[in-house]
Amino acid sequence: EAGVAQSPRYKIIEKRQSVAFWCNPISGHATLYWYQQILGQGPKLLIQFQNNGVVDDSQLPKDRFSAERLKGVDSTLKIQPAKLEDSAVYLCASSGETGVGFFGPGTRLTVL
Amino acid sequence: AQSVTQLGSHVSVSEGALVLLRCNYSSSVPPYLFWYVQYPNQGLQLLLKYTSAATLVKGINGFEAEFKKSETSFHLTKPSAHMSDAAEYFCAVSETGRRALTFGSGTRLQVQP
């Protein structure tokens, strides 16, 4: 069974630029999560989707972050414009009927 | 609201020694509890989960954890550390089986030869 795929693995941008991350969950998993992991901290939820609907986006900085999962499969997370404090690893996870989250390898974002 | 506290950001043990990583949680409802491991430049891998069945949960790689409701704890143990166990370990809680996880700040385990 293929795992959660994410791209790119690494991204370096200047502050005020925009960036997008892509996630392909495990086939058949209805729930998809985006987490932000700042260096030295545990992952923090940004947004949770159930199929193509948003379940929880209470911690998503909506003035600069957006996410979509149009067909209930792949998802894209965008930051526009980026700030220095957005430097982090962005983790995508998906879960099926068991509720157990399977994580992708993450995208490491550096904002200069 | 739910939260997780991991005591000790760094733990160092000798190869072959007991591993004990501490986790305390708070939750307004019976929790689902998880331990994940993260190797450098990789995503998180599930070690084990507690979902209100047996209080002693066995996971992969010889790890186990015991749910103690009276102490609101879910400590992770392994009888004998191996060099390959060196990694970052995260405890996490979910109020149901279908909501996002709240993670602790992590414990970095070092294994000395």
DSSP letter string, B13-60 = EETTS-EEEEEEEE-SSPPEEEEEEE-TTS-EEEEEEE-SS-SEEE-G
How confident is the prediction along chain B (113 residues), in pLDDT tens digits per residue?
789 999 999 999 999 999 999 999 998 777 899 999 999 888 899 999 998 778 899 999 999 999 998 999 999 999 999 999 999 999 999 877 667 899 999 999 999 99
CB contact under 8 A, A41 and B46: no
pLDDT of amino acid B19? 98
Answer whether B90's CB lies under 8 Å from A43's CB.
yes
Nearest one of A29, A17, A41, A47 to A89, comparing CA atoms: A41
Q: A110: distance to nearest CA of chain B, Å?
A: 14
Is B100 in Cβ contact with A45 (below 8 Å)?
Answer: yes
Count the Cβ atoms, other than its own, within 10 Å of residue A5: 14
| Interchain proximity A91–B96, CB inside 8 Å | no
Rounded to a whole number of angstroms, the distance from the CA of A106 to the nearest CA of chain B is 6
Q: Report yes or no: B40 at the A interface, CB cutoff 8 Å.
A: no
Instruction: Spell out the SS3 assignment of A30-62.
Output: CEEEEEEECCCCCCEEEEEEECCEEEECCCCCC
- Mean pLDDT score across all residues of chain A: 94
Q: Do B22 and B75 form a contact (C-beta atoms < 8 A)?
A: yes
pLDDT in tens, A45-60: 999 999 989 999 999 9
Percent of chain B whose pLDDT exceeds 70: 98
How many beta-carbon pairs under 8 angstroms link A with B?
A: 55
Residues from chain A that touch B99, judged by Cβ atoms under 8 A, are 48, 55-56
